[in-house]
Amino acid sequence: MKRMIAVLAYTAAALTIVAALLTPFVLLPLFTRGVAALGLHTDPVYSGGDLAYSIAKAGYRIDVYQPVAPKAVLSGTVAFVQIAWAPVSELPARVADEVDIDGNGRPDLLATFAVPRDGNAPLTADVASRSSRIASMRGIARQSFACAIVRVGDRIVVRVPWRR
């Protein structure tokens, strides 16, 4: 009886080690597919929304995103629109571009900012309103999710508050 208990104990220990070794290869893909099937996605407040369209300029492009309105009233984030200039290496030393956010053919804002060659240098932007949906602002830095200018990889991203 003692011998049978010892054989069962060693067998259980060996199976536990095999299961532990196989877990990353077998269970992790199952877990990944299960999470993907849930349809989870990043909230637009963090991602900046869906790309609406791109504007081709001389050597660079401007990506204009759909306006983002936070879903929770208590989130503390106001509606905003995200605009990205890329690639940074092709931008002029000073950018001054008019951008049509809502696609009506008339510019909604004029964004101006300097493009330092040092990737860690602080950025500031000025936004001049061309429509009632955007407020003019000077010295935008990193005030909030809805009002910021940051360098992300090879892009300069500007977010400005948007009135619905």
156 falls in which pLDDT band (50, 70, 90)? very high
Q: Is the pLDDT of residue 162 over 60?
A: yes
Model pTM?
Answer: 0.74
**By C-alpha distance, which of 138, 140, 125, 129 is closest to 162?**
129
pLDDT of residue 69: 84
CA distance 91 to 145: 24
* Cα 147 to Cα 19, 31, 127, 139, distances in angstroms: 50, 37, 11, 10
8 A C-beta contact, residue 143 and residue 63: no
pLDDT exceeds 80 at position 39: yes
Look at residue 143 in the predicted model and tell me its pLDDT. Answer: 79
φ, ψ for residue 116, nearest 5 deg: -70, 145
Find the helix or strand (DSSP H, E) in which 132 lies. Answer: none
Residue carrying the six token digits 């990737």: 119
Q: In what order do the strands lie in the sheet with 137-140?
A: 94-99, 109-114, 125-129, 137-140
Question: Looking at residue 17, what DSSP letter applies?
Answer: H
The tens digit of pLDDT for each residue in 92-148 reads: 999 999 999 888 889 999 999 999 988 888 999 999 999 888 888 888 888 787 889
Residues 111 and 91 sit within 8 Å (Cβ to Cβ): no
Structure confidence by residue, pLDDT tens digits, 50-102: 999 999 998 999 999 999 887 766 556 688 999 999 999 999 999 999 999 88
- Residue 56, Cα to own-chain centre: how many angstroms? 21
- The H or E element that residue 98 is part of is strand 94-99
| Residue 73, pLDDT score | 60
